[in-house]
């Protein structure tokens, strides 16, 4: 029950576009990138992407982030970022 209330708290914050969690962390998509929290709601890091993080999926040691400009892959080990660009930006 406690973890559920943390997700509601994050989701009610201004500018949160998407929320997902795995067995270790909670990830909140924002207009600028992704904020990462532990399961007790303490901040872990922020990853600035310069794009709105509209879709998130935590899979296989990576956080996949869908944006209007393409797909980002954030390594959950060292927070490094890879990016696959789209030919043109998607409409919001």
Asked whether residue 1 carries a pLDDT value surpassing 50, the answer given is no
Is 59 exposed, middle or buried (CB count within 10 Å of its CB: 0-12, 13-18, 19+)?
exposed
Rounded CA separation 68/89 (Å): 5
5-37: per-residue pLDDT in tens? 455 455 446 699 999 999 999 999 999 999 999
Give CB contacts under 8 A, 24+ apart, made by 70-79. Answer: 74/34, 74/47, 76/24, 76/25, 79/45, 79/47
- What the block records as the tokens of 19 is 């929320």
- pLDDT tens-place string over residues 49-67: 999 999 999 999 999 999 9
Structure confidence at residue 16 (pLDDT): 92
């Amino acid at each position: 029950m406690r973890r559920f209330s943390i997700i509601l708290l994050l989701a009610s914050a201004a500018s949160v576009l998407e929320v997902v969690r795995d067995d270790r962390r909670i990830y909140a998509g924002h207009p600028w990138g992704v904020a990462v929290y532990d399961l007790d709601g303490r901040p872990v890091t922020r990853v600035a992407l310069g794009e709105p993080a509209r879709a998130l999926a935590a899979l296989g040691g990576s956080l996949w982030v869908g944006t209007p400009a393409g797909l980002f892959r954030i390594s959950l080990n060292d927070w490094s970022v890879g990016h696959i660009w789209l030919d043109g930006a998607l409409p919001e």
